[in-house]
Amino acid sequence: DPDEPKYCYCGRGSYGTMIGCEGSNCKYEWFHLECTGLKEVPDDDVKWYCEDC
């Protein structure tokens, strides 16, 4: 779908497990877990920041 928002370093749409960056000015905001290199989503009390933030 060309109108679907693009996320992550890869620039693809939302699919699979996603993780949100806590950076207030993050240009991506949401990331595919597989693109971050993480094996699982961190606990809710852990703030996660992408490599750019």
Is 1's pLDDT higher than 80?
no
Residues at the annotated binding site?
Answer: 8, 10, 21, 26, 32, 35, 50, 53
Residue 39 has pLDDT above 80, yes or no: yes
φ, ψ of residue 36 in degrees (nearest 5): -85, -15
Binding site listing for Zn(2+): 8, 10, 21, 26, 32, 35, 50, 53
- Written as six digits, the tokens of 18 are 């996603």
User: Per the structure, how many domains does the chain have?
Assistant: 1
Tokens found for residue 53:
């933030």
Where in the sequence is the domain holding 25, given as residue range(s)? Answer: 1-53
Instruction: Give the residue from 17, 9, 53, 11 showing the smallest Cα distance to 33.
Output: 17
The model's pLDDT over 2-22, given as tens digits with 9 standing for 90+, comes to 788 999 999 999 999 999 999
36 neighbors 19 (Cβ within 8 angstroms): yes
Indicate the average pLDDT of the chain.
Answer: 94
Q: What CATH code is carried by the domain that includes residue 53?
A: 3.30.40.10
